[in-house]
């Protein structure tokens, strides 16, 4: 991981200190919440406007963050990812959220779509720490946030559904993901910002005839709308 120096950036240090001091114990009564109630509380806590200095967290990491999707967009994407019969959420489903940020897509997958297991990987370690803190504090099991570059952390062999809000991912990372997925026999669906043409150029093998395009996915704050593509592996 390449780190940038920002000289005496005390604001960023202050944010990291706050994240490191977050309490770990679950909330009272959290284990009795319905998934809907837990998701409501998780999302209230993850509202980025309430996390002081949230945008500063990525400043020491050489990555673009590009923002977050609104909850309605996340619901559209996850519905798209789970609509094919082999992608319905079953007991062996594992959603991998590459670039999981502060974890909202991961929590939506776990609590609203019922994925039994979700793994988020995020290079900006304080963001992964916030997400894990929220999971621990709300007693959300089956979800885990790993801090680090996905190239180092790796793609879990059991991953079935891969979500990558890949806006801003460098070409080398996309090419690495293509190589990893080509060697991975378990993935059933990939949701991504990169177009099928870009994935083709990166060398990913996928089923050309089945790609779905999701449009009008709106972002928190900016009101920007992106498209995402749902890709399936070639027939095995």
Ligand X SMILES: C[S@@+](CC[C@H](N)C(=O)[O-])C[C@H]1O[C@@H](n2cnc3c(N)ncnc32)[C@H](O)[C@@H]1O
Binding site for ligand X (CB under 6 A): 58, 63, 65-66, 68-69, 97, 99-101, 104-105, 121-124, 127, 149-151, 165, 167, 169, 173
Look at residue 30 and give its three-state secondary structure. Answer: helix
| 59 or 210: CB nearest ligand X | 59
| 151 or 210: CB nearest ligand X | 151
For the residues of 205-231, what is the DSSP string, one character each? ---GGG-EEEEEEEBTTT--EEEEEEE
| 115 or 169: CB nearest ligand X | 169
| 210 or 218: CB nearest ligand X | 218
- Report the nearest approach of ligand X to the CB of residue 191 (Å): 10
- Report the nearest approach of ligand X to the CB of residue 118 (Å): 12
CB-CB neighbours of 82 under 10 Å: 21
| 169 or 232: CB nearest ligand X | 169
In the sheet with 212-218, reading across from the earlier edge strand, the strands are 143-147, 117-122, 94-98, 161-164, 189-192, 225-231, 212-218
- Report the nearest approach of ligand X to the CB of residue 71 (Å): 10
- Report the nearest approach of ligand X to the CB of residue 28 (Å): 29
Q: Where are the alpha helices (DSSP H) in 70-159?
A: 71-81, 104-111, 125-137, 150-153
Helices (H) and strands (E) in the chain, counts: 8, 7
Annotate 9-40 with b (16+ C-beta within 10 A) or e (fewer): eeebeebbeebeeeeeeeeeebeebeeeebbe
- Report the nearest approach of ligand X to the CB of residue 105 (Å): 5
């Amino acid at each position: 991981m390449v780190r940038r120096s920002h000289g005496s950036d005390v604001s960023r240090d202050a944010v990291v200190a706050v994240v490191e001091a977050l309490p770990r114990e679950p909330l009272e009564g959290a284990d009795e919440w319905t998934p809907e109630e837990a998701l409501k509380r998780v999302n209230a806590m993850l509202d980025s406007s309430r996390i002081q200095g949230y945008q500063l967290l990525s400043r020491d990491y050489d990555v673009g963050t590009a923002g977050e999707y609104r909850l309605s967009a996340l619901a559209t994407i996850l519905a798209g990812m789970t609509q094919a019969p082999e992608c319905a959420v079953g007991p062996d489903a594992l959603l991998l959220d590459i670039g999981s940020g502060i974890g909202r897509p991961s929590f939506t997958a776990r609590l609203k779509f019922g994925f039994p297991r979700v793994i988020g990987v995020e290079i900006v370690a304080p963001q992964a720490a916030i997400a894990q803190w929220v999971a621990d504090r709300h007693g959300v099991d089956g979800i885990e946030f790993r801090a680090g570059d996905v190239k180092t952390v790796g793609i879990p062999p059991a991953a079935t559904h891969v979500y990558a809000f890949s806006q801003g991912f460098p070409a080398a990372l996309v090419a690495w993901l293509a190589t990893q997925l080509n060697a991975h026999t378990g993935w059933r669906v990939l949701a991504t910002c990169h177009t099928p043409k870009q994935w083709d150029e990166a060398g990913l093998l996928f089923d050309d005839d089945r790609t779905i395009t999701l449009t009008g996915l709106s972002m928190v704050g900016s009101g920007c709308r992106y498209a995402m593509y749902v890709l399936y592996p070639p027939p095995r």
